[in-house]
Amino acid sequence: MGIDTNCSLVLPYPYTVRDIDFCIILSNALDNAINACKNLDNSSEKYINITGYKQGDFILIEIENSFQEKNMPGKGTGLANIKAAVRKYNGAVGIRTGHGIFTLSILLVIPQHPDNIL
């Protein structure tokens, strides 16, 4: 699709965040980013940047992509699924938009007792 991608995702192993929750977060975020890039005209730069790392007792993930602000879709299930997964870890989701850039920031608190995560 002509989308430039860059990924730097360095996460601890073993980690106490469930694999399925990482899948929910990343698959929904990437699906949204791909769709946003797909809706850009051919003269626009199409890109997706993914960064993630552990800092202290937190995992920080950021997905940034180009998008066309005037064609921004309404709320879908993808973002709701991301927020539900993040809530399990007492985390936070932040969204910034401007100048054709959409940024999704995710903060997960690394649980000390992973048995409590449903």
Label residue 113 by pLDDT band (50, 70, 90): low
pLDDT at 98 over 80: yes
Q: What's the pLDDT score for residue 70?
A: 77
Strand duo 4-10 + 47-55: pairing: parallel
pLDDT at 115 over 70: no
Q: What's the pLDDT score for residue 118?
A: 56
Closest CA to 63 of 47, 50, 46: 50
User: How far, in Å, CA of 38 to CA of 116, rounded?
Assistant: 39
pLDDT in tens, 8-18: 999 877 778 88
Please state the pTM of the whole predicted model: 0.88
The one-character DSSP state at 19 is H
Mean pLDDT of the chain: 89
pLDDT in tens, 62-89: 999 999 877 665 556 789 999 999 999 9
Which residues sit opposite 47 in a β-bridge? 4
Residue 23 neighbours by CB under 8 Å, 6+ apart: none
Closest CA to 44 of 26, 27, 69, 62: 69
